[in-house]
Amino acid sequence: MDLLNDLAEDLKLLGDKTRLTILTLLKEREWCVCEFVDLFDISQPAVSQHLRKLKSSGLVKEQKKGQWVYYSLNIEDKPHVRAILNLTPDASSVLSNLNKPSNVVCCE
């Protein structure tokens, strides 16, 4: 039953469009919190809340570089998440849908 609980929790997280978009973007590279704030036009605390949920579930990991925190995928042990992300568009399509340039640069 633990496996079903874990699957259900992961799928709940993926059911949020912002979190699914974050994971989709993380397929191609690591991203900084500040980049997500610019992309989604939501507050930094709101972005951090989404990332905190993804991190606490083990779907993403973080690495501090200077004053910024960068996030990357951590789904090696989650083939169900990998299967879903294989169905999502590439980053340039996502950015295009968000009406954002594909050359988003962090605020270093």
| Confidence check: pLDDT of 1 > 80 | no
From its phi and psi, is residue 100 left (phi > 0), alpha (psi between -120 and 50) or beta? beta
What local confidence, expressed as pLDDT, does residue 105 receive?
61
pLDDT digits (tens, 9 = 90+) for 57-108: 999 999 998 888 899 999 999 999 999 999 999 999 998 888 877 666 666 5
What local confidence, expressed as pLDDT, does residue 54 receive?
97
How do the domains of the chain map onto residue ranges?
A: 2-97
Report the first-to-last Cα separation within the chain, whole angstroms: 45
What local confidence, expressed as pLDDT, does residue 48 receive?
93
Q: What is the CATH architecture of 2-97?
A: Orthogonal Bundle (1.10)
What local confidence, expressed as pLDDT, does residue 98 receive?
85
pLDDT digits (tens, 9 = 90+) for 18-70: 999 999 999 999 999 889 988 988 899 999 999 999 999 999 999 998 888 89
Tokens standing for residue 37: 């704030």
Tell whether the torsion through CA atoms of 36, 48, 42 and 78 is positive or negative.
positive
